[in-house]
Structure formats: structure tokens, C-alpha cells
Amino acid sequence: MPRKLIQRYMPDPETIRRHKSLQCLGSLLDKGCLWRLNRHSVALACLTGLFVAFIPVPFQMLIAAALAIGIHANLPISVALVWVTNPLTMPPIFFFAYKVGAWMLGTAPQPFAFHASAHWLFHGLVTVWKPFLLGCLISGLAVGVVGYIGSHLLWRGYVVYRHRRRRIARLAATSS
């Protein structure tokens, strides 16, 4: 992966450590592995960030940060990938997750009309919560694993490509 390109958009670890709202974390943010850009930490960040993106709860970024700290993944990438589910992408992603859950449970998807209200949350969600949560779990795991494997393969492919380019340039320089 282009480490310099990623580092250009990464926040400065010192700035984050000194932020007022994060002072309560103390020395947890001092671990170097949370800020390192290598194939392993980025792949773990893809796994955690994409998995947590499919968890239908508020404060997904805090969950992703806690998981990243716990498994020594790259913290900024893990937190940023949670935004795969945003207000625009959430309806189709969660509808797909519901369909996956209904298929896994062997039940027909129930027709329902979503209304952004507490009444719907307590009465309308009762009929679809099992397939919805199962679908979110399965979809999150699947997308997270694909992100993990995909980032490993992309990183490895980029390293091989750069190595070949350097070797060709070296051979061209010695032959001329």
C-alpha cells in the first residue's frame, strides 16, 4: 500500500493524545502499534472497522476504537472505516443484512414500513429483530474478513509491483 499516501491523511498521534476529550484514555493511546502503518495493523483495522460498521448501534466509532486498542490494529483506519455505514448507505446495507438474516433463518422476509419514531422502534422492530441482527452479524463478519484478506492482498501486490519496478529500473541503468 502507498504508505506515504495514507500517512498524508492520517491524523498526528500527538495531536490526538493531547485532545481534551481523550485525556481519560491516558496511556492507552501511547501504544505505537495503534499508529503504525504495516500490512498487519491495516488489515486488522479493516476487519474491525468494517465489522463494527454493520453493528446497528450508535457510537460505532467508540466500539471500533476499543476493538482497535484491544487487538493492536491501526486506530485511525479502524475508526474511519466505520463510516462505510453513513446516513446515505445505512438503509440499503441494513436492508441487505435483514435479507441475509431472513435467508439464514429460513423465514420469508416480513414486509414492514420504517418510520423514524419510538413507536415503530418498540412495535415495528419486534417482528424483524432476529433476522436483522443475525444478518448484521453475518454480513459484518463477511465484509470484515473480505476487507482483511483484500487489504493483505492489495498490500502484497503493491509491494511486489514496486519491487519489480525497482528491479527493471536497476537493470535498465546497468545495461545502458
Q: What is the pLDDT of residues 66-84, one digit of tens each?
A: 899 889 899 889 989 999 9
pLDDT at 91 over 90: no
pLDDT at 108: 84
Mean local confidence (pLDDT), 140-152: 96
Instruction: Locate 83 and state its grid cell.
Output: 463510516
pLDDT at 146: 97
Mean local confidence (pLDDT), 49-67: 91
**Measured between alpha carbons, how far is residue 93 from residues 47, 67, 99, 166 in Å?**
17, 22, 10, 42
Q: Which tens digit of pLDDT belongs to each residue from 108-143?
A: 887 766 666 677 667 767 778 889 899 999 999 999
Every domain of the chain and the residues it spans: 3-175
Determine the number of helices (DSSP H) and then strands (DSSP E) in the chain. Answer: 8, 0
